[in-house]
């Protein structure tokens, strides 16, 4: 009986161990790694857009706005103070503005839910903003490259949880980041998975950087035209305010002079024909 209990205990422990190993092997695969990397790329993209165009508090956003929380859940504003989600575990949950502000990924990144963007800077010309836009774009590029480097380093690990790793890339500052557990394949996967993970990350950041460069180009053109229009409108307002009385006074004098023309006698022969005699 004791032997039977011992055998059963060993069997249960073995099964549990194999279950953990198989679970880890199931989690650490190329598809899950790529999915997690794409989520991180999307998050970096949203943060970069916030730096450029700014971000408002939840109560200041219009109905229909979308917010992302730090746990990755997506929330849709349905009313002035109500948010709903279709993410797993939050289907029938309602969040309010205060909770959205506290749990927003923007708050986690910048320490507050609202932020003024570079393009929202007032009383400057577009040319004065270009150096800051260029610096932000370079920082965005570095963050993406370091993310791909994080993926490369994570592939050499096999832990079930994330670990601290140092990543660097030429032209960028070295950072200490958390590894990506979904990418802890420990080189046990086929070489095709390894190549697919690396190529997917590199192609994704290349396309994303090209897309953002084109959008920034359009945004700069629009911003320059808009600020020029504001300058012209402002100068016209100043001109009208400064010359309002002189122009009005001159027009009134001209009208008075034109009205006095009727009292000037006519010395031409044609004047005698008009008005015609009855």
Q: Taking 50 as the threshold, does the pLDDT of residue 140 lie above it? A: yes
Confidence category of residue 232, pLDDT binned at 50, 70, 90: confident
Q: Which of 150, 178, 175 is nearest to 163 (CA)?
A: 178
Report the C-alpha gap between 138 and 172 in whole angstroms: 9
Q: Taking 60 as the threshold, does the pLDDT of residue 144 lie above it? A: yes
What is the pLDDT at residue 159?
82
Q: Taking 70 as the threshold, does the pLDDT of residue 36 lie above it? A: yes
What is the pLDDT at residue 264?
57
Q: Which of 87, 116, 117 is nearest to 103 (CA)?
A: 87
Name the residue with higher pLDDT: 101 or 6. Answer: 101
What is the pLDDT at residue 273?
53
Structure tokens at 17: 């161990």
Confidence category of residue 105, pLDDT binned at 50, 70, 90: very high
Cis peptide before 148 (omega within 30 of 0): no
Confidence category of residue 185, pLDDT binned at 50, 70, 90: confident
Residue 89 DSSP one-character state? T
Q: Taking 60 as the threshold, does the pLDDT of residue 44 lie above it? A: yes
For residue 135, give every residue at least 6 positions away whose Cβ sits within 8 Å of its Cβ, in sequence order, or none: none
Report the C-alpha gap between 226 and 77 in whole angstroms: 30
- Say if CB 196 and CB 34 are below 8 A apart: yes
| Mean pLDDT, residues 242-254 taken together | 73
What is the pLDDT at residue 223?
96
C-alpha to C-alpha distances, 146 to 74, 120, 133, nearest whole angstrom: 25, 28, 20
Strands 175-178 and 94-95: unpaired
Q: Helix 191-260 to helix 30-53 angle, to the nearest 10 degrees?
A: 20
Out of 99-108, 112-121, 136-145, 186-195, pick the least confident.
186-195
Buried b / exposed e across 103-142, counting CB within 10 Å, b at 16+? bbbbbebeeebbbeebbeeeeeebeebeeebeebbeebbb
Structure tokens at 76: 């849709």
What mean pLDDT value characterizes the chain?
Answer: 83
Name the residue with higher pLDDT: 120 or 194. Answer: 120
Around Cβ 172, how many Cβ atoms within 10 Å?
17
pTM here is 0.75
Q: In the chain, what percentage of residues exceed pLDDT 90? A: 57
Q: Taking 70 as the threshold, does the pLDDT of residue 274 lie above it? A: no
Out of 132-146, 185-199, 251-265, pick the least confident.
251-265
For residue 108, give every residue at least 6 positions away whose Cβ sits within 8 Å of its Cβ, in sequence order, or none: 70
Out of 60-69, 102-111, 247-256, pick the least confident.
247-256
Confidence category of residue 15, pLDDT binned at 50, 70, 90: very low
Name the residue with higher pLDDT: 251 or 148. Answer: 148
What is the pLDDT at residue 246?
72
Name the residue with higher pLDDT: 84 or 183. Answer: 84
């Amino acid at each position: 009986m004791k032997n039977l209990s011992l055998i059963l205990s060993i069997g249960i422990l073995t099964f549990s161990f194999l279950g953990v190993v198989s679970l880890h092997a199931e989690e650490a695969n190329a598809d899950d790694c790529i999915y997690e990397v794409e989520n991180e790329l999307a998050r970096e993209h949203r943060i970069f857009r916030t730096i450029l165009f700014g971000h408002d508090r939840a109560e200041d956003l219009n109905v229909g706005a979308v917010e992302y929380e730090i746990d990755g859940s997506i929330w849709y504003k349905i009313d002035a103070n109500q948010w709903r989600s279709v993410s797993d575990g939050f289907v029938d949950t309602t969040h309010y503005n205060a909770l959205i502000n506290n749990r927003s990924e923007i708050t986690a990144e910048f320490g507050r839910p609202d932020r003024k963007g570079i393009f929202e800077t007032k009383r400057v010309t577009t040319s004065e903003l270009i150096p800051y836009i260029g610096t932000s774009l370079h920082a965005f590029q570095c963050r993406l490259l370091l993310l791909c480097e994080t993926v490369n380093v994570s592939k050499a690990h096999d832990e079930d949880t994330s670990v601290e790793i140092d990543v660097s890339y030429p032209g960028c500052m070295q950072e200490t980041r958390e590894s990506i557990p979904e990418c802890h394949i420990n080189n046990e996967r086929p070489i095709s998975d390894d190549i697919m993970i690396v190529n997917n990350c590199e192609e994704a950041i290349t396309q994303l950087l090209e897309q953002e460069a084109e959008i920034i180009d359009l945004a700069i053109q629009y911003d320059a035209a808009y600020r020029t229009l504001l300058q012209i409108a402002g100068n016209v307002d100043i001109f009208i305010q400064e010359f309002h009385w002189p122009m009005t006074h001159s027009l009134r004098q001209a009208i008075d002079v034109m009205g006095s023309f009727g009292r000037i006698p006519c010395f031409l022969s044609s004047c005698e024909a008009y008005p015609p005699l009855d």
